[in-house]
Amino acid sequence: MKAVSSLIKDLFKRCGFILLRDRPYIYNQDGLFSIHNHDFITDPAFIKAYQRGIKASDGVDSLFHWRVHVVLWVAQAASKLPGDFVECGVNKGFYSSAIMQYLDWNSLDKKFFLLDTFNGIDERFVNDEEKRLGRLEINQRVLDQGGYELNVESVRKNFSEWERVQIIQGAVPETLRQVDTEQVAYLHLDMNCAIPEVAATEFFWPRLVPGGFVLFDDYAYAGFEPQHSALNKFADSKRIKVMSLPTGQGLVCKPPT
């Protein structure tokens, strides 16, 4: 431990920082190590939103603070645009609950469409490369450990405090046409496999308003290379680029028509 502490102190000196007891510069969770400012963690509005996400997740904190920071920033920017919100891959509702808390959802004249199988990944839409990477085995392990929400009524109860929320159960792409909106400002995809994520992006892209956002949860995450490649291919077809974030997320903003 002393050797590690010495290395950290040396790193701070090299970066021009002074290590003080009351200034916890180090951020080290969810695959991200940083000595950069992350004081958003102490913002009361952020704390309240993050805690609401934990509540939706049965009290489980996955230590996704910086990822949630990105989600909330994108959601707030999208809230200024015309169009509704869509999340594919809702699970227990961690991200979307945090968003609705943060934005005071009932004060907005927007719909939030929440899509999920509520049964883990649908193996019909797992490609061969993902199977070789063990995606189905990981999916089964998460199911066995209770990591995926199987009770859609529990999810409905979680979101009952907010208006204009539509929960759609079933597999993407089969459920996409149940999203009855012509304008989308915010699209969040967290389905852990390439086929449904590309299908959702292709389906909603014509409905995405200029300046609207698509946020991919696993775009740059280790072990999700098939999604990374497939989403890059889609982006290339639209002559745009996905911004790769150190949180593992990927972000696209639709250019003006």
Tens digits of per-residue pLDDT, 25-56? 789 999 999 999 999 999 999 999 999 999 99
Q: What is the largest CA-CA distance in the chain?
A: 59
pLDDT exceeds cutoff 90 at 2: no
Strand, coil or helix: 107:
helix
Q: Where in the chain is the domain with CATH 3.40.50.150?
A: 43-253
Joined tokens for residue 176: 């996409």
Q: In the predicted model, what is the mean pLDDT of the chain?
A: 92
N-term to C-term CA, the chain: 55
Q: Which CATH superfamily is domain 43-253 in?
A: Vaccinia Virus protein VP39 (3.40.50.150)
The C-alpha atoms of residue 216 and residue 151 are separated, in whole angstroms, by 25
| 22 vs 39: CA distance, rounded Å | 13
Does the structure show a pLDDT above 90 at 248? Answer: yes
pLDDT score of 257: 74
| Residue in the block written with tokens 């903003």 | 253
Distance (Å, rounded) from C-alpha 208 to C-alpha 184?
Answer: 5
Which 3 state secondary structure label does DSSP give 185? strand
> What's residue 23's pLDDT?
52
pLDDT at 11 over 80: no
Are 183 and 82 in contact by the 8 Å Cβ rule? The answer is: yes
What confidence tens digit (pLDDT) does each residue in 214-247 have? 999 999 999 999 999 999 999 999 999 999 999 9
